Amino acid sequence: MTTDAHVAGQSALDPLERRALAAVDALADEMVEFCRELIRIPTVNPPGRHYEQCARFVGERLRLFGYRVEYLAAEGHAEHSPAYPRLNVVGRLEGAAPRPCLHFNGHFDVVPVGDGWTVEPFGGELRDGRIYGRGSCDQKAGIAASIYAVEAIRRAGLSLAGTVEQSATVDEESGGYAGVADLCDRGVFSRERQDHVIITEPLNYDRVCIGHRGVYWFEVVTHGRIAHGSMPDYGVNAADQMAEFVHTVNQELLPRLRGRTTSMPVEPEMARHSTINLNALHGGQELGGDGFLASCVADRCVAVYDRRFLHEEDLASVKAEIEGVLEEVARRSDQFHYTLRELWSVPPVATPLDARVVTTLQGAIQDVVGRPAAVIASPGTYDHKHITGRAGIVECVAYGPGILDLAHLPDEYVAVEHLVAAARVMALATLRLVGVP
Ligand SMILES: [Zn+2]
């Protein structure tokens, strides 16, 4: 499993670190099998299938590897139902002392399969050095990598000065409220407990992700007046009114947003600007039936927008800007009546570049891969928002195997070579952050 890239830079390693890396390589086949078995549990979200089975599978492996394991159901969340229980698992491997504590978190829910697959989506097929399947890259490989990185340290006969925790959680793909957010609210994540958190999302084995842009999802409804469709002048068409708003967003707001650039290293580069996307648009009568619609002027039209904002912007001004566009359209047309509703918002997060978890991972990537690590930020949000926003832990990054662009695509895969490289980086980072007595 050793590649040229892995050999490069090993001069920076001390003998204990070399032992740990050799143990990662020796465990590679077992780690690959564990990853394949994880993929075979079809934890599709929505609606949240087979979560309990997956949590117990991860928990059993952690127990075998010496962790104290706890299962936490997301009691009190509407999505935690008898049909689709939300179960998170947390394991704790205590070394000589409770601190420093390094926590690895990965989500085990996967998005629906979709069309266009040429392999069995939940087969865990291993072919030409790649593990295929829904969730292989995003992000069951990350869970496998962190568990086996720490196990390699143990099998190499090394003990740790501090503590390692691992959690596998639900619902990241739908906001993480019954997953990481629930663990934050239960105190599993807190500044009093962890010093560093690594979320094992697929940001590529040679990059460290320090955070993400902010989100403002909103709904605009335009209100018209119903009339017979053959005599439209008796009514006010809400869809036409919405068209005015959509047009104004595209013509006037969008150029302003494109002109704003963040200093955060967001990847891909096109996402270094403010963005806005029309997620959904519907006016008039319900569609989908086979029969004729009645002939009516559309008296109601709904638009849902997804506005992503920069670390340099703030939510209040982002909201005010949207209200300003609506008021501008209302000034031009006295028939324009609207309501505006916030659906969801998330502040941006950015871990400081000099945080120890960032610099340590950068050093480990350099030593394993043989070239400098890229530091990036994510265009979309992930569970980092809860770790920082709810638990107040600043020392948090995302790092894991898998190519981000493959997430959610058909024929999703993770390269075995990247899985092993990421596990090697995680093993080094663990030794350096948690320490050896
Ligand atoms: Zn993910």
With H, G, I as helix, E, B as strand and everything else as coil, classify residue 195: coil
> If you measure from the C-alpha of residue 381 to the centroid of ligand 1, how many angstroms do you get, rounded to a whole number?
10
> If you measure from the C-alpha of residue 17 to the centroid of ligand 1, how many angstroms do you get, rounded to a whole number?
29
Structure tokens at 168: 């596998």
> If you measure from the C-alpha of residue 159 to the centroid of ligand 1, how many angstroms do you get, rounded to a whole number?
31
> If you measure from the C-alpha of residue 65 to the centroid of ligand 1, how many angstroms do you get, rounded to a whole number?
25
Pairing of strands 130-132, 413-415: antiparallel
> If you measure from the C-alpha of residue 42 to the centroid of ligand 1, how many angstroms do you get, rounded to a whole number?
15
Judged on CB neighbours under 10 Å (0-12, 13-18, 19+), 286 is exposed
pLDDT at 18: 97
> If you measure from the C-alpha of residue 160 to the centroid of ligand 1, how many angstroms do you get, rounded to a whole number?
29
In sign, the C-alpha dihedral spanning 32, 113, 205, 187 is: negative
Are the C-beta atoms of 73 and 85 separated by less than 8 Å? yes
Structure tokens at 116: 């266009």
Per-residue pLDDT of the chain (437 residues; tens, 9 = 90+): 444 444 444 458 999 999 999 999 999 999 999 999 999 999 999 999 999 999 999 999 999 999 999 999 999 999 999 999 999 999 999 999 999 999 999 999 999 999 999 999 999 999 999 999 999 999 999 999 999 999 999 999 999 999 999 999 999 999 999 999 999 999 999 999 999 999 999 999 999 999 999 999 999 999 999 999 999 999 999 999 999 999 999 999 999 999 999 999 999 899 999 999 999 999 999 887 777 889 999 999 999 999 999 999 999 999 999 999 999 999 999 999 999 999 999 999 999 999 999 999 999 999 999 999 999 999 999 999 999 999 999 999 999 999 988 888 999 999 999 999 999 999 999 999 999 99
> If you measure from the C-alpha of residue 236 to the centroid of ligand 1, how many angstroms do you get, rounded to a whole number?
44
Structure tokens at 191: 């500044």
pLDDT at 288: 79
> If you measure from the C-alpha of residue 331 to the centroid of ligand 1, how many angstroms do you get, rounded to a whole number?
43
> If you measure from the C-alpha of residue 139 to the centroid of ligand 1, how many angstroms do you get, rounded to a whole number?
5
> If you measure from the C-alpha of residue 297 to the centroid of ligand 1, how many angstroms do you get, rounded to a whole number?
43
Pairing of strands 101-107, 163-169: parallel
Judged on CB neighbours under 10 Å (0-12, 13-18, 19+), 74 is buried
Judged on CB neighbours under 10 Å (0-12, 13-18, 19+), 389 is middle
> If you measure from the C-alpha of residue 384 to the centroid of ligand 1, how many angstroms do you get, rounded to a whole number?
11
Contact residues for 383 (Cβ-Cβ < 8 A; gap 6+): 105, 107, 169, 172, 176, 179, 180, 181, 199
Please tell us whether the domain made up of 214-346 is placed in CATH 3.30.300.30: no
> If you measure from the C-alpha of residue 329 to the centroid of ligand 1, how many angstroms do you get, rounded to a whole number?
39
> If you measure from the C-alpha of residue 355 to the centroid of ligand 1, how many angstroms do you get, rounded to a whole number?
23
> If you measure from the C-alpha of residue 408 to the centroid of ligand 1, how many angstroms do you get, rounded to a whole number?
9
> If you measure from the C-alpha of residue 113 to the centroid of ligand 1, how many angstroms do you get, rounded to a whole number?
14
Architecture of domain 4-212+349-434: 3-Layer(aba) Sandwich (3.40)
- Domain spans of the chain? 4-212+349-434, 214-346
Place of tokens 């609506």: 326
Are the C-beta atoms of 32 and 125 separated by less than 8 Å? no
The backbone torsions φ and ψ at residue 309, rounded to the nearest 5 degrees and listed phi first, read: -120, 165
pLDDT at 11: 59
Q: How far apart are CA 399 and CA 269, in angstroms?
A: 19
Q: How far apart are CA 272 and CA 406, in angstroms?
A: 20
> If you measure from the C-alpha of residue 377 to the centroid of ligand 1, how many angstroms do you get, rounded to a whole number?
14
Q: How far apart are CA 115 and CA 133, in angstroms?
A: 13
Closest CA to 35 of 169, 173, 135: 135
DSSP result, 86-117? -EEEEEEEE-SSS-SEEEEEEE--B----S--
Give me the amino acid identity at 221: V
> If you measure from the C-alpha of residue 107 to the centroid of ligand 1, how many angstroms do you get, rounded to a whole number?
7
> If you measure from the C-alpha of residue 415 to the centroid of ligand 1, how many angstroms do you get, rounded to a whole number?
16
pLDDT at 6: 45
pLDDT at 289: 77
> If you measure from the C-alpha of residue 38 to the centroid of ligand 1, how many angstroms do you get, rounded to a whole number?
14
> If you measure from the C-alpha of residue 226 to the centroid of ligand 1, how many angstroms do you get, rounded to a whole number?
45
Q: How far apart are CA 127 and CA 149, in angstroms?
A: 23
pLDDT at 1: 40
> If you measure from the C-alpha of residue 138 to the centroid of ligand 1, how many angstroms do you get, rounded to a whole number?
5
Closest CA to 408 of 52, 134, 14: 134
> If you measure from the C-alpha of residue 402 to the centroid of ligand 1, how many angstroms do you get, rounded to a whole number?
10
